Amino acid sequence: MSEKIDKAIDHLNKILPLKANQQSMSLDMQALHRDILHSYVELGRSLNRGEIAQRVDNLEEAVKTLQQKDMVVFDDSGEPIGAYPFTMEKREHKISVNGHLVHSMCALDSLAVSPMYGVELEINSVCHVSGESVVIRQKGLEILNASAVRDVYFAINWNAASANSCCADSLCTEMIFLKGESVANNWFNEDAEHRQIFTLDEAVGFAAGFFMPLLE
């Protein structure tokens, strides 16, 4: 893995320490978190409150822990609606996997699913600037339609991270796909100090390195 990717993983772990937060929970809670992650690929949705209740002794305490650790996003009624890299909100990054259509929190998250589960899938998204369609077919670390997406880049605005809101509502909104080298360069040059561009291959390595440890 390149120094660029290692630094990006380290930077994101400082902003959103998912693996450290996961390890800080009890083994039972870690297993529950992994069950929730698996449910998106196996069921096409998150485990709901009733299903979580069957796995824990104290439902409200489990929800509180997952929420405080920023491991799972819940709606106002306490139902889970997201667990990085997945969300049940209708975001612009759609993933067709295992016969299901699921959504990811951000562009980076969408590229993590195939390496995490070793499955072939298709990502349907858009260029954040032009709105042009972005379709990526992926299996593990490999982009299957590489020639068709050679002008697609992953981009991140590190300055979007906010201490006042969860990552799903701040940094995730500016972890994006850009289509076209000139589009990517123009976006980067608007704030070169805080923005970063990755090729798709680099982005897959970044996504896998950050998210795969959650299933270990």
Residue extents of the structural domains in the chain = 17-83, 88-216
Q: Distance between CA atoms of 15 and 17, rounded to whole angstroms?
A: 6
Q: Which residues are paired to 101 by β-bridges?
A: 96
Q: How far apart are CA 42 and CA 64, in angstroms?
A: 25
**End-to-end CA distance of the chain, in Å?**
19
pLDDT tens-place string over residues 83-104: 999 999 888 899 999 999 999 9
Q: What rounded mean pLDDT belongs to the chain? A: 93
Task: Give Dmax over CA atoms of the chain in angstroms.
Answer: 54
Q: Give pLDDT tens digits for 153-195.
A: 999 999 876 444 455 455 667 899 999 999 999 999 999 999 9
pLDDT at 159: 86
Domain 88-216 has CATH 3.30.450.410: yes
Collapsed DSSP state (helix, strand, coil) of residue 138 = strand
Q: Does residue 198 have a pLDDT over 60? A: yes
| CA 37 – CA 46 distance, rounded (Å) | 7
pLDDT in tens, 105-147: 999 999 999 999 999 999 999 999 999 999 999 999 999 999 9
Q: How far apart are CA 102 and CA 193, in angstroms?
A: 33
CATH topology of domain 17-83: Arc Repressor Mutant, subunit A (1.10.10)
| 215 phi, psi to nearest 5 deg | -95, 0
**Sheet strands (E) in 19-75:** 73-74
Q: How confident is the model over 37-62, as a mean pLDDT?
A: 96
**Within a 10 A sphere around the Cβ of 66, how many other Cβ atoms?**
22
Tell me: pLDDT of 24 over 50: yes
**pLDDT at res. 172:** 63
pLDDT at 77 over 70: yes
Please report the pLDDT score of residue 144 as a whole number: 98
Q: How many CB atoms lie within 10 A of CB 179?
A: 20
| 95 DSSP β-pair partners | 102, 123
Integer Cα distance of 44 and 86 in angstroms:
10
